[in-house]
Amino acid sequence: MMFSRVLSIGSRDLAIDLGTANTLVYVQGRGIVLDEPSVVTIQFENGVRSVRAVGNDAKLMMGKTPENVKTIRPLRAGVIADLDVAEQMIKHFIEKARDGGRFSRKPEVVICIPSGSTSVERRAIRDAVTNAGATQVSLLDEPMAAALGAGLPIADPVGSMVVDIGGGTTEVGVISLQGMAYSESARVGGDKMDEAISSYVRRRYNMLIGEATSERVKMEIGTAVRPIDSRGPTATVKGRDLARGVPTELVLSQAEVAEALAEPVGRIVHVVRTALEHTKPEIAADVIDHGITMTGGGSLLRGIDTLIAEATGLPVRIADDPLTCVARGAGQTLEDQVYRGALQAA
């Protein structure tokens, strides 16, 4: 009796939002049980590499490791850049989400992918998840998952538009009757914003700052629109002076960060406008009525919803808990058979 109970708990299937910046795991019947950075620390000894830390523990080590230890992100721009490390990371997350799952069968997994992924990239994701311990892998386009998680009526004959700004990609989907009427994917997101801030500081102040520092500045004072006053709030930035080679610090204003982010934000706005230009007239009419829904961590950048609203002339809203929309949407395909039609066999 007790054994069968443990078996049934451990055999629940999973939905994974395998993001460039963070990975979220949804367990059937339990909801989201894991949300950790997509980061792995690798240690090299005698030509052999082994995993030292994954997720939160690995992110703490970023930029602070000795020569024989490297902290890497196995996904770039929404796709797998290092297959072996990605497999180790996914396996770790699956085991952690299922509390080891020693007595249970291997799970079936729904995994979210960028809508613009090539067949080679889709196969790489499928192979990584299968090798990590899944018995069956189903793929789900990120815009579809985001729309489902945001509560949009994807099963109805009504056009809905969702913009999901993740760490590696921006996904724009126009959805009706559980199908993609149109999708557009661009490899620009939170990572490009971080790189833009770092490049700006290096170009203007001849100072080198780390990835974690750029991300912190973006979250503290990042904005898509220039502040009303000349400078706005400020943030202290510490790094290395490239001319003198010594540690130094400076104060960045919000206006400067807005200037740094202008290029990646402009690309996101362009992707949204391109999707609207290719939307069928009847669906476009629905989008006018219901507006655009934004999800993903990038939607939390100050003023980006206002900027897109001004550029398109449409109402824009940010979904509730935008960071988890994709994972929750993928999870709904496990919980409700109605949405199984949105899945693609891998």
Residue ranges of the chain whose pLDDT lies below 70: 1-11, 100-104, 344-346
Distance of CA 219 to the CA centre of its chain: 15
Please check if 255 is assigned to a binding site.
no
Please check if 39 is assigned to a binding site.
no
From the list 55, 34, 44, the residue with the least C-alpha distance to 331 is 34
Q: Name the DSSP class of 280.
A: -
Q: What are φ and ψ of residue 321, in 5° steps? A: 50, 60
Structural contact between residues 168 and 77, judged by C-beta atoms closer than 8 angstroms: yes
Instruction: Quote the CA–CA distance of 121 and 261 in Å, as a whole number.
Output: 28
| pLDDT score for 100 | 56
| pLDDT score for 268 | 97
Instruction: Quote the CA–CA distance of 300 and 17 in Å, as a whole number.
Output: 18
Please check if 299 is assigned to a binding site.
yes
| pLDDT score for 4 | 34
Please check if 298 is assigned to a binding site.
yes
The CA–CA distances, whole Å, from 17 to 78, 212, 282, 304, 327 equal: 10, 22, 31, 23, 5
- At the topology level of CATH, where does 190-261 sit? Actin; Chain A, domain 4 (3.90.640)
Please check if 300 is assigned to a binding site.
yes
**DSSP three-state, residue 64:** coil
| pLDDT score for 337 | 83
Q: Hey, how many other C-beta atoms are within 10 angstroms of the C-beta on 157?
A: 10
Two structure tokens written together for 132: 């990590």
Instruction: Quote the CA–CA distance of 142 and 295 in Å, as a whole number.
Output: 10
Instruction: Quote the CA–CA distance of 146 and 322 in Å, as a whole number.
Output: 9
Please check if 214 is assigned to a binding site.
no
Please check if 22 is assigned to a binding site.
yes
Please check if 56 is assigned to a binding site.
no
Please check if 120 is assigned to a binding site.
no
| pLDDT score for 11 | 54
What is the identity of the amino acid at 328? R
Residues in the chain: 346
- At the topology level of CATH, where does 2-144+326-345 sit? Nucleotidyltransferase; domain 5 (3.30.420)
Q: Which CATH architecture has domain 159-188+263-322?
A: 2-Layer Sandwich (3.30)
Q: Where in the chain is the domain with CATH 3.30.420.40?
A: 2-144+326-345, 159-188+263-322
Interhelix angle 83-97/119-131, nearest 10 degrees? 50
Please check if 238 is assigned to a binding site.
no
Q: Name the DSSP class of 227.
A: -
Q: Where in the chain is the domain with CATH 3.90.640.10?
A: 190-261
Please check if 169 is assigned to a binding site.
yes
Please check if 21 is assigned to a binding site.
yes
